[in-house]
Copies of this chain bind each other. A is one copy, B any other.
Amino acid sequence: MKAEIISIGDEILIGQIINTNAAYIGEKLLTIGIKVKRTTTIGDDEEIIINALQKALYENDIIIVTGGLGPTHDDVTKKAFANFFKCGYKRDEAVYEHVKNLLAKRNIPLKPINEEQAMVPEVCNVLFNALGTAPGMHFIKDGKEIFVMPGVPFEMQYIMENHVLPYLKSKNKFFIKVKTLMTCGIAESSLFNLLGDINELTKNAELAFLPNARGVRIRVMTRSENENDAEYELNRVVNIIYEKANNYIYSDEEKEIEEVVGKLLTENNLTLAIAESCTGGRVADRITDISGSSKYFMRGLVTYSNKSKTDLLGIPDELISEKGAVSKEVASLMAENLRLKSGTDIGISTTGIAGPTGGTPEKPVGLIWIGYSDKYESFAKNFYLGDNRKIFKERASQMALNILREQIIKNFIRKK
């Protein structure tokens, strides 16, 4: 079954609102085996709405429409549907009572403009909206299903969960299984090559590579009339990918690496301190995005100036002048001294050249040394992460968190 989403609203077209509704609906439909084939966003215009609806009905089986159901003059979605179905309006008594009660609760007098919200096209079934005044509507045309909902996200979500999804689920015969493998530290093309014969993987599954500054996500999707078959095939493909790319995968549950690392630190009763130069606080910021991070994250230092590296971390002036602030030796000593001074189990550090200026032929913009220290070892590794300052910081924080993840597994889990 193929679906189309039609989002209605001038404010989406001009970028005033980001269309999160379409993402929500696409994701929810997929979990019941319905694939969205197209999302169309159009303005509040009757003729354009009817045209989009005609095209959608011609090509897809299920049409989900959101937006344009408010009480003001610029909302024309309901009128467009009444015209499309060449029908009049009926008053829905349940909606009328509900609107009256909602307004009474907020001490707002009932006006004709509010009463009109209970008027719906005669041929529709009302999808009751407990969270707002605009009801959802369900139409059927030539065996195709059309659902119309308000654009306010939480109202739309209420109607999806209570009406649309249960209804569609009961009509569906396919099962869809999806897993996303989150990788970092490897480029998309290298990952693709590493996986070997792609045809073997995609025989009965769909594979997508989704890159961003944090790494490449691999999405695997299978579909079958038999739930076990879909599950079996998903596991087969996921296992092959794990065999070939295990070292690069940090989550198969769509968790960001700061959450994965937080869980590892918590489960192994480890504490962490972070000393950042070039990442400027980005690593600590990501670590503290996780609720509960105060249990394992003790302190961070942003040692931006050389003096702060000396004052706060005891890095000798001579080492900085001999090797440079961006060096293996400084990165490693930053992590080690930080750990000892903080009394934490682990210290990590960053020092590099975020650019766009400050590079030299030997130490170009994009170079970073990431230091790591625990009771077993202290070391530093270098990477080249490009010359865009913000992307450099994002990539650098990801690499630092990945080294932390690898080392916890190596020194605190495998050694047990």
Give the interface segment out of A226-234, A297-305, A329-337.
A297-305
Secondary structure at chain A's binding surface: helix, strand, loop or mixed? mixed
Contacting pair A384 B16 (CB below 8 A): no
Interface members, chain A 307-347 (any B CB < 8 Å): 307-308, 311-312, 342
Contacting pair A18 B16 (CB below 8 A): no
Note all chain B residues with C-beta closer than 8 A to A72: 188-189, 192, 209
Nearest B-chain residue to A273, judged by Cβ: B308
Contacting pair B386 A105 (CB below 8 A): yes
How many residues of A are in contact with the other chain, CB < 8 A? 111
The yes or no answer to A170 lying at the interface (CB within 8 A) is no
Contacting pair B36 A26 (CB below 8 A): no
Cα A36 to Cα B48 in complex, Å, equals 13
Number of copies: 2
Q: Which has the most chain B C-beta neighbours within 10 Å: A14, A36, A342?
A: A14
Which of B41, B283, B304 is A22 in contact with, Cβ under 8 Å?
B41
The yes or no answer to A140 lying at the interface (CB within 8 A) is no
Note all chain B residues with C-beta closer than 8 A to A187: 103, 106, 108
Take A209-B72, A384-B106 as given contacts and tell me if A37 and B23 are in contact as well, using a CB distance cutoff of 8 Å. Answer: no
Give the interface segment out of A79-87, A236-244, A287-295.
A287-295
The yes or no answer to A11 lying at the interface (CB within 8 A) is yes
Note all chain B residues with C-beta closer than 8 A to A312: 299, 312
A sample of 11 more A-B contacts (CB under 8 A), given A14-B36, A39-B40, A279-B288, is A12-B22, A13-B38, A17-B210, A22-B41, A38-B52, A105-B384, A111-B193, A113-B192, A154-B391, A298-B308, A301-B301
A positions within 8 Å CB-CB of B? 10-20, 22-28, 30, 35-44, 48, 52, 70-74, 102-103, 105-108, 111, 113-114, 131, 152, 154, 178, 180, 187-190, 192-193, 198, 206-213, 217, 219, 274, 276, 279-285, 287-289, 291-294, 297-305, 307-308, 311-312, 342, 354-357, 364, 366, 384-386, 388-391, 393
